[in-house]
Every structure is written in C-alpha cells, then in structure tokens.
Structure 1
C-alpha cells in the first residue's frame, strides 16, 4: 500500500496558522512590485485602482469562503470547479491555479537573493535563490505544522516591520507630496488618468495576489468550517489596512516619482526620512527579507497541495499524490515544483519574452492564472447555488448575489486589461493552458479506461 493510500493529510492547523498563511502568502507584495502602479497612473490614479481591487478581493474572499467551507479540499478551486462544471472546468481551474502558484516563487526567490546581495555583494542572487528553494522545500516536507508555525512567525515579523516603516516615515509625511501630479503625472483628472487607472490594475492586484491559497490547506485545518472563515476574513482585512498604509505613507514622505520605478520603494522612502546610515533603515532591509520569505514559503505550500490534488484526481501521474510515509506531506509534489522554480531562476538571463526577462514574464503569467481562477471560482459559486441548494454551507457569502457578481465582473475586467497590455505573454498563457488542460484530460481518460478494463 502506498503512502498516499495509508492515510490523508494531517489536520493540525489552527486559525492562527491559517491567518499566518493567508497574510504570509501575500505580504511580499506590500514590500515591492506595487510602486510601478504610480508610474502608470500617478498616486491618485493608483489609489483609485487599489480601492477597486481591494473591494474586489474583499468581495471575492467573502464569497470564496463559502466554497472553501462547503468543499474543504486540498485542490481548492480545482475541487469547486470540478463539482460545478465537471472535469473540463476542474482542469481549467486547477491548472490556472497551478500556473499562479508555480511561477510566483521564482520571482520572489530572486528578490530574496537581491536583498541578501545588499549585505553580501559577492553573493550571486541566483545562487541565493536556489538555496532558498532547497531550504524551504525541505522545511515544507518535514511537516505542515512546523512549516505553518514558521510561516506564522515570519509573517508576524513582516507585519511588525511594515508598521515600523509607517511610524518612522510619519514625521516627514505631507499630504501635498502624495497629491502632487497624482493623476498620471498631472494635477488634474483627464482621459489619460482613466487609461492609467486601467494600466495600474495589475500592480494593485500584487497587493493581494495569492491570498486564496489558504483554501489549499483546508484538508490540514482543524475544523475547517470554523477556522477558515475567521482566517480568511482577518487576513484580507489585515492586508487591506497594510496596503493602504504602506502606499499612502510612502507616497507622502517626499517626491513619489523618485520611487515609482524601483523595486525597493520602502527602503528608499525611509532613507529620505532618516538618512542612509540610520539603524532603522538597516532594520528595514533585514526584516524586509521576512516579508519575502513568508510569501515564498507560503506559496510553496500552495503549489505542493495543488500538484498533489491534481495527481490524486488522475490529471497528473499518481506519483505526485504520494505522501511522505513519516511526515504525511506531499513530498514529490513539493520537490517537482521546486525543480520548475530553480530551472526558471537559472533561465532568467537567458530567455526573454516580449523584451522582458523570463522572471518578469512568469510573474505576469502568474497573475493571469490567478484572475482566470477567480472568474471560474465565482462562476462555480453561482452554479452550485443553483444546482445544489441543499449543499451544506457553514458560511454563506454576504450580499449574495451582488458581492460575488462584483468580484466576478472586476476579475473579468482585470483579466481583459492584462491580456490587452501583455498580448504576447497572454498568448503564451493561452497555449500553455490548452496544452496542460488537453493533456491532463487525455491522461485522466486513459487512467479511467485502464481501471475499467477487465483483468485477463
């Protein structure tokens, strides 16, 4: 009997662990990546984009929680879409989610390497990124409780550091700094501002991308129908507060255009307030690493569960559904995702797509996968409400059908916007999805036929 047959995933995660996963999955997005939205839309335009995206995520999480508590499954969106739309819908949702979670970690690991290079100039970021994969793949295999406890610890440190950042730059904050040139580089609203707001939507999404990964820990949660709603709601409210706090305080601390096109806006904003040699600045650089580690580590947990669920359902080879005989974690799935990530890291300076490095391109692929998954998940919510009205729903989406309809519409709008602004990468995403979904359905069908054949 295989390890995967001898028992399931261990249910050891408390509401605090799940909150740590929810916030930790996302919190690196508060440290870097979002400031490019200022370059696209200005501070006020990006503020509008962030308000819209934050509203989308709040509506989405409150609606998504209904699915997670009704169908607590390691596959998350894959399970909901399968139940609502059958194998094809499940495959689309499953592989969209897998693309989101598989391709975000290489970019984060390289950011970890870049942070470490500030302190150790001779360290190659690719080497550091690879070491990060080895360390956190190992930690994830050793045990989910240990991994989730570590995730909670680094998430708390990362949240504390963002609060410290706001407190340190507050004395230099002036609203006039934030308002200057706030509409796509102008002081007044114009048609260009509208285009800037749409262009900035992907960067606003970066503030919240991957929070839905808690759903993939549902089979490992204690009493998931009670703990998951609490963790999700507390997590999304935490992230909304941090996103607006970081963005507003950074933008008002000086000339925001100086930090609109850089990958480390927080240290640069703090530098203007306390100088280059301040201990606060060095603390931000070091503790900022914890924000990156929290997201990196949490997303590894997410992709491992998604690969595991797809393997268990027959869409991938059954070896990916193996559980470690001692630790009861999906070890093969965890390692497989790590191999893809390391290969991406070392291809970063070799492969270029649409004039971008490979890592920059796969971040866009990740966001496209997330938005497609949001659309399918909200559609599944409506379908299950209609087809299975008696399904036990410990948590029901508030303001139904308005909240899930708003989340669905906003996700569709953001998805179309990203396709329009990233046509070459969107074409690659479409081809990748067609190949993966078609191949997985064929693989599953062969497996079903093999089981159905009578033994000779």
Structure 2
C-alpha cells in the first residue's frame, strides 16, 4: 500500500471544506454559552473570539502555504522546534478532530429525533458514522464535492432561518437578563463571559483543518489562502447573525443547554406544524453533516500523517490502493467516536457529554493554536529564506494578537474546567509515554515531506 496522497482538490472544494468543517457550530453547541454568560455576555465573548480567529487565520495561512503537509500543525511544529513540540501539536490536533465528531453526531440524532421521536437519537448518530466513514473511504474528490454541496445548502438554510424568524424578532427578548441572568452589566457578569469561551470557539472550531488537505490540493499556494479568507469571513457573518436572531425569537433561556436551538427558536415564531420548521430540520441537517463529514476528513489525515511520521503505529499510515484514501485512519477515529456516543447519558464535571466533548475539542484546538503561532515566529527567525506564498497579514501584530488571546483562553479554560483539564493533560501524558518508547519508528519513517 502507498503512503502518498493524490492532489485533486480545487479552490471551491477547499472553501467548502473551510466552511463545512465549522458550520455545524452555527447550528448547535454555541447556545451552551448562553447558560454561562447570557445573550449579551456571550455576544461579547463571541466578538472577542471572532477577533482571535480572524487574526489567527490571516497568520496560519502563511504556514499552510509554506509547508503544504497533511500533518498541518504537527508538520509546522516539527520543522520549527523538533519532534517533542511536534508531538504536542499533533496530539492536540488529534484531540480536537476526534472529539468533535461524536458531539456533532449526537446533534444529528437530536435533529432527526424532532421528526422521528420514537427513534433513539443514538441510532441516528451511529448511522451517521457508518454512512460518512464509507463515503470518506471511497475517495477524497467525491467526499470533497459532497462537502461543497452540503455546505452550500447549509449556508442557504442559515440565511433562510434568519429570514423566517426576523418578522418575530424582538430586541427586548435578546437583551432580557442578558448579562448572566441580570439586565444590567456588572463585574459579576465577567466570570460567565470567560466561562463561555469554549462555546464561542465552537462557532469557528476546525477551520484550520483545511491545512490537513494541503497535500491533496491543486495549486495550494493560491487556492488555500482564498479558501481560508473566504471561509472565515463567511463564518463570522453567519455566527453573529444566527446568534442574534435566535436570541430575539423568544425566551432564550429555553434554547440554552439543548442540541437543536434553531428548530426550537423557529417554533417560537412559526409554531410546531409550519413547513418552514420541517424544512429547517431537514435542510439544517446538512449543516451538521457538512461539519461531521469534513472533520472526518481532518482527523483521518492527522492520524495518517502522525502514523506515517512514526508518532503513531505505522498500521494507520497507509493509503488504500484502490481509493487512494487513508482508510485505516478513517475507521480508527470512527471507533473512538462511536464509543463516546454510547456514553451519551454519562455526565462529568457537572456538564452533559456533548458539552464535555466540545470542551475537550476546544482544549485541543487552543493548544494547537498556541504551538502554531509559536512555530510561525520561530520559522521567521530560523528560516528567513523559506518561500512564503502568503505572508502573514500585519506581521507581527496579527500573530501576536492570536497567540496572546489563545493563551488567555487556555488559562481561563483551565480555571473553569479543572476536571476536564486533568483528563486532557492526562491523555497527553499517556501519549507521551508511547512517543518516548518509539523513537525507532520515527528513525525508520519514510516521511521526508518536512526536514528539520
């Protein structure tokens, strides 16, 4: 079997992947932030996180175009700092991309349960894994074309949602008790604003996954910057619009701590029997599917790249001869996700499983963002002559803003999620034991895409 990926993706495929990886975050997950901060408090959190992501993407694109490698952040850290920091970046990215899909799959189950209340949402979630793992194995171009199609439908549906609820929108609904349950801002609202950070990050989480398709992109130096910039602008607009319109539809407290806030918000305006509601449920599934399907692409390429480089068992670092996809890596991530779904009724650290999965994924993302920005600064000094088809915008200001805000996010998340912090860093420590015992695998690795 081969250990090389085939370049077949164009610019539209990559934009579809950039938006599709994330767009489920506009459909669910973010409303858990209302429970922490209220609507106005969470709006503040979301604006700050949007600034972090915008500056991050305008900086991260330099790394993606300079080092087009399926490992993404892992490859950048290896080139900048060596194998140990590469392990940290690779592990963090893996946690982000493996823990996010089961949360999305359970939201798919919740959306379908609106239509088929007699069917256990877990069955729908497990079925989603079976269908989209199979589609991913068949081929990246087919998978990416499907991703583009469902992403366009998902964007359209979010615009429809905003249009349908707008006649019933009331700013008084949105601002009522909007500061952590209070009508007026006070310092008592600040802890809630900070605690809501993981759920604001969920609005944008995984856009960086385009980096993991870089080896499969045609002309990555030109198409990836367009995909990233177009993607982040699209997502900021949709995130703010969906949140504001949903919050103004009625009692926003009824929409927090649930996996289907948009259908429930629309019910407040059009009632339970409206055709608009049924359309939202069915077409809205495409938003969840787009992210679910896209993140499968992301985690599989990360597992593949880590295995090919000797950071994970080499069993996962091969490509199927017929379909040219990393089939073993695709299946491995799915197994982890399906096991998580079976524990849906399990609560930990005072949160539902979905909220904990989101928080774990965000921990991975934030650690990866920090290492990536550090890698950007290090490579600017270490390799000033490296070809940079897209130079970081407003360097060093933008990457500094992204790095500082990511560090603040990490510190606050540790403070507000101490039990999950122990789980995250405990898993990282266990992985490091394997890393320490397998130097011979890295020495024998055929992955020479990046030289340190």
**TM-score bucket of the superposed structures, by smaller chain:** over 0.9
Preserved CA contact (<8 Å) 1:91 1:441:
no
Preserved CA contact (<8 Å) 2:32 2:355:
no
- Is 1:245–2:244 an aligned residue pair? no
CA deviation vs aligned residue, 1:339-381 (integer Å, no higher than 9, x gap) = 11112222333x5433445454233211101100000000100
Q: 1:379 aligns with which of 353, 362, 374?
A: 374
- In structure 2, the partner of 1:454 is none
User: Aligned partners of 1:246, 1:357: CA distance in 2, in Å?
Assistant: 23
- Where 1:139 maps in the other structure, the secondary structure is helix
Q: 1:155 aligns with which of 135, 146, 151?
A: 151
* Displacement after TM superposition at 1:155 (Å): 0.6
* Displacement after TM superposition at 1:440 (Å): 2.1
CA deviation vs aligned residue, 1:18-69 (integer Å, no higher than 9, x gap) = 1111111111110111112222222221111111000000000010000000
- Where 2:387 maps in the other structure, the secondary structure is coil
User: Aligned partners of 1:306, 1:440: CA distance in 2, in Å?
Assistant: 16
- Is 1:111–2:110 an aligned residue pair? no
Preserved CA contact (<8 Å) 2:221 2:390:
yes
Tell me how many residue pairs correspond in the alignment: 446
- In structure 2, the partner of 1:339 is 335
User: Aligned partners of 1:346, 1:40: CA distance in 2, in Å?
Assistant: 27
- In structure 2, the partner of 1:438 is 433
Preserved CA contact (<8 Å) 1:315 1:441:
no
RMSD: 1.6
When the two structures are superposed, what TM-score results if normalisation uses the length of structure 2?
A: 0.95
User: Aligned partners of 2:175, 2:350: CA distance in 1, in Å?
Assistant: 33
Alignment of 1:55-454 (within 5 A): 55-349=51-345, 351-445=346-440, 448=443
Preserved CA contact (<8 Å) 1:250 1:269:
yes
* Displacement after TM superposition at 1:132 (Å): 1.2
- Where 2:37 maps in the other structure, the secondary structure is helix
- Where 1:159 maps in the other structure, the secondary structure is helix
User: Aligned partners of 1:370, 1:26: CA distance in 2, in Å?
Assistant: 13
Which runs of 5 or more residues in structure 1 are unaligned?
Answer: 452-456
CA deviation vs aligned residue, 1:73-127 (integer Å, no higher than 9, x gap) = 0000000000111000101000110011011111111221222222223322222
CA deviation vs aligned residue, 1:198-233 (integer Å, no higher than 9, x gap) = 111111111001111000000000100000000000
* Displacement after TM superposition at 1:182 (Å): 2.2
Preserved CA contact (<8 Å) 2:80 2:375:
yes
- Where 2:250 maps in the other structure, the secondary structure is coil
Preserved CA contact (<8 Å) 1:217 1:305:
yes
User: Aligned partners of 2:272, 2:127: CA distance in 1, in Å?
Assistant: 29
User: Aligned partners of 2:282, 2:213: CA distance in 1, in Å?
Assistant: 29
User: Aligned partners of 1:18, 1:450: CA distance in 2, in Å?
Assistant: 29
- In structure 1, the partner of 2:450 is none
User: Aligned partners of 1:260, 1:102: CA distance in 2, in Å?
Assistant: 25
Preserved CA contact (<8 Å) 1:181 1:187:
yes
* Displacement after TM superposition at 1:416 (Å): 1.2
Preserved CA contact (<8 Å) 1:37 1:204:
yes
Which runs of 5 or more residues in structure 2 are unaligned?
Answer: 447-452
Preserved CA contact (<8 Å) 2:99 2:360:
yes
* Displacement after TM superposition at 1:255 (Å): 2.9
* Displacement after TM superposition at 1:449 (Å): 7.5
User: Aligned partners of 2:309, 2:143: CA distance in 1, in Å?
Assistant: 25
User: Aligned partners of 2:257, 2:340: CA distance in 1, in Å?
Assistant: 24
Preserved CA contact (<8 Å) 1:345 1:359:
no
CA deviation vs aligned residue, 1:155-186 (integer Å, no higher than 9, x gap) = 11111000000001111122232222222222
- Where 1:3 maps in the other structure, the secondary structure is coil
- In structure 2, the partner of 1:45 is 41
When the two structures are superposed, what TM-score results if normalisation uses the length of structure 1?
A: 0.95
- In structure 2, the partner of 1:11 is 7
Preserved CA contact (<8 Å) 1:85 1:380:
yes
Q: 1:356 to 1:193 in 2, by over 3 A?
A: closer
Q: 1:357 to 1:46 in 2, by over 3 A?
A: closer
Q: 1:273 to 1:60 in 2, by over 3 A?
A: same
